[in-house]
Amino acid sequence: MELSVRDTGIGIDEKDQQRIFDMFWQGEQSHARPFGGVGLGLHIVKRLADQISAEIDVESEKGRGSLFRLRIPVRPD
């Protein structure tokens, strides 16, 4: 099963796309600060995905938004 979430926000620079799942990591401070947060959300999602053998990835282009995909393995009945 695959769940996708797309936004039209500021996007994520390619060099930062793997770091977004790191604990306490936040994007460019000039953009991230007005929105608050401590940088835990995506880290928690990644840890939960790992616990159920799911995969999460991101496609993003700076200034054009992001697409997050969560792939959850499903056992056939």
Helix intervals (H) in 1-77: 29-32, 41-51
E strands, 1-76, are 2-7, 55-61, 65-71
* Confidence at residue 26, expressed as pLDDT on a 0 to 100 scale: 81
Decide if 20 is inside a domain.
Answer: yes
Query: 36, 38, 39, 46: which is closest to 68 by C-alpha?
Result: 46
Decide if 27 is inside a domain.
Answer: yes
Give the domain CATH number at 52: 3.30.565.10
Expressed as residue numbers, the domain containing 46 is 2-71
Q: How many domains does the chain have?
A: 1
Is 70 exceeded by the pLDDT of residue 55? yes
Decide if 76 is inside a domain.
Answer: no
Q: Is the pTM of this model over 0.75?
A: yes
Decide if 19 is inside a domain.
Answer: yes
Decide if 36 is inside a domain.
Answer: yes
Decide if 77 is inside a domain.
Answer: no
Decide if 25 is inside a domain.
Answer: yes
* Confidence at residue 43, expressed as pLDDT on a 0 to 100 scale: 94
